[in-house]
Amino acid sequence: MVTRTNFVSKFIGGAFVVLGCVVLGACGAASSTTAGSYTSQTISGTLSDVGISGGRFRILTGASNYMVWFQNVGSQRVYFADVNGDGTFALSVETASDVTRGDRFIAFIVKKDPLSVVGTITGPHTSTANSAVTGMIISGAVTGLQIGLDRDNYNAVASANSSNFRLDSELKTRLVSGRPSGQGNAGKGSDSVTSNLNVKNTLDQDEDGLPDIVDSMNDGSILDNRVTDNIQEGAKWSDSVHSVMMFVNLKVQRENQGSSTMVTDNSLIIIQVNPRNASAIDSVVAYLVNTNYATATVDDLPGGYTAIDTWPARGTAWRDVSKKLYKVSYAATGAVLWKVALKPENNAFKPGDLVLLKVTLKSGKIEYYLTGINFKFQTLPTLTGVPSTGTGTNINPYQTGATGNVTLTWNAPTDETGSALAGIDYSFEVFYYDSVGNQIGERQVVFVGTGTSGTLTSAVIDRYSSSSPSPASIQVDVTARYPFGDNSANIIKLKRSTW
């Protein structure tokens, strides 16, 4: 779920009140890439509280803080509606006649504050069941859909006395002690992990109860960030948006490492919307954000990008600039995209904390994309083998011999659970500086691979040794990176004994 992208449509009647979801996508951007026959159906009902492990339906406290989300298994289109204060809701979904399972949906409950998924909608099941049906077949308007939310178990049991509503037992979620196995762990915890995929369940193949758009490990075994195709989940059929990315960078100089606030002080969140057709997009803002991003500040425009919109000053409160994403171009390719770089200013943010992006098209139509990080760097690549002299800081670089190679070793960075990040690629990014701190020449990148040891050859270290001025130190960013864009770097300084 980094690319917890997802294209949703809704109709807002009044401030944050959804009178009924109208599918803008059907008559707008998405329609031409998924040409076909869509039929709107209204689903209305009540979201109630059933307490711990089910029980008597009662009014859900703070019901207006919840949303009901439906996703079509065939078209992958997403629909959502706010729940009213009395627990009632109504949303308009579309069945699709020309795609496989175009009459099937899976659904989930989202809490707005803090913005997160709090329930998988399932069919009735016993408290000891190890699976529950999640597929719903909608053949016409459905009224009286009763959804009982068991908040402790992230379970929302749905039933309706309607001939237009049936369960589809081909689509299920695995339960562990009554809880959908991916709930509460962003779809990547040990309960959710599996190698058994149900290819019929195109939205939730690992059947952990989290559809791909909110699952950090779609296939039950590999973190989404290791597969670049995952950035397209939810946007596959938008004409305007190609993909949505949200990921973390954590790059820290040697002198600033080890403090209890290292992650808070240095974490950078990147949210990026990559257009399919940039000229179709008017603006991108975050419509709703999880509490842990509510007081984020905007950081500098990342290197390699050129601002098109005016990028705000570093430290600007994001909420003071309408939680905008800014139109920029990527210098290397000229690609235009929308981006923001944020410091969350806390160490509480985590996978499962969502951001709902609102993309306004020049046509006036609106697309929504739900996104979030799939993992968080909690540590850097932690060095375990370094030159014995020096500390790696600017004022006291690690000191190497007058000639020869230098081998560094490290431990893999850990994620927010303390687990070492698997399958991450390492590289050395090397910068050369003269005695007054000016950079010499160009950065060199030495690819290491997935091993946690690498050698800086004398050819790399001495690359500019005959230049004038010659280097007085080099900076080595020991970098860990997945193909998504997330990266972590342990930044050290190093010098020859003769420099």
Question: Which residues are at the interface with Ca ion (CB under 5 A)?
Answer: 182, 187, 192, 204, 206, 208, 210, 215, 217
Taking the least distance from each CB to Ca ion, the nearer of 182 and 312 is 182
Closer CB to Ca ion, 350 or 358, in the complex: 350
Nearer to Ca ion, 217 or 270 (CB): 217
Q: Which candidate, 161, 125, 127, 168, places its Cα nearest to that of 146?
A: 161
Cβ proximity to Ca ion: between 358 and 376 the closer is 376
| Shorter beta-carbon distance to Ca ion: residue 90 or 214 | 214
Q: How far is the CB of 332 from Ca ion (least distance, A)?
A: 33
User: CB of residue 263 vs Ca ion: minimum separation in angstroms?
Assistant: 25
Spell out a b/e string for 334-356, using b for 16 or more CB atoms within 10 Å of the CB, else e: eebbbbbbbbbbbbebbbbbbbb
Identity of the residue, 371 or 490, whose beta carbon is nearer to Ca ion in the bound complex = 371
In sequence order, which residues have a C-beta less than 8 Å from that of residue 320 and are 6 or more positions away? none
Do strands 398-400 and 487-496 pair parallel, antiparallel, or not at all (unpaired)? parallel
Containing 262, the helix (H) or strand (E) segment is: helix 262-266
Closer to Ca ion by CB, 249 or 371: give it: 371
d(CA 465, CA 271): 40
Supply φ then ψ for residue 293, to 5 degrees: -115, 5
* Closest residue to Ca ion: CB criterion: 187
458 within 8 A of 405, measured Cβ to Cβ: yes
Task: Report the nearest approach of Ca ion to the CB of residue 187 (Å).
Answer: 3
Q: Which is nearer to Ca ion, 204 or 486 (CB)?
A: 204
Token pair recorded at residue 174: 């695995």
CB of 186 to Ca ion, least distance (A): 8
Nearest to 476 by CA among 495, 499, 458, 459: 495
**Considering the complex, what minimum distance in angstroms separates the CB of residue 265 from Ca ion?**
31
Residue closer to Ca ion by CB (options 183, 238) is 183
Residues in Cβ contact with 37 at an 8 Å cutoff, skipping those fewer than 6 apart: 96, 97, 98
Give the shortest CB-190-to-Ca ion separation in angstroms: 11
- At residue 396, the 3 state secondary structure works out as coil
Cβ-contact 478, 383 below 8 angstroms: yes
Helix (H, G, I), strand (E, B) or coil at 294: coil
Give the list of residues 6+ apart from residue 225 with CB closer than 8 angstroms, or none.
2, 247, 374, 375, 482, 483, 484, 486
| Nearest approach, Cβ of residue 8 and Ca ion (Å) | 18
Nearer to Ca ion (CB atom), residue 117 or residue 340: 117
3-state class percentages of the chain: helix first, strand second, coil last, to nearest 5: 10, 45, 45
Closest distance to Ca ion from the beta carbon of 340 (Å): 27
Question: With respect to Ca ion, which residue has the nearer C-beta, 69 or 428?
Answer: 69
β strands within 239-278, DSSP E: 241-253, 267-275
* Nearest-angstrom CA–CA distance, 76 and 70: 10
CA–CA distance from 465 to each of 387, 445, 472 (Å)?
A: 20, 17, 9
Minimum CB separation of residue 218 from Ca ion in Å reads 6
In whole angstroms, how close is the CB of 219 to Ca ion at the nearest point? 7
In angstroms, the Cα distances linking 404 to 167, 456, 496 are 68, 9, 10
**Of 387, 403, 375, 336, nearest to 493 (Cα)?**
387
Report the length, in residues, of the chain.
499
Contact between 217 and 225 (Cβ < 8 Å): no
Nearest approach in angstroms of CB 450 to Ca ion is 22
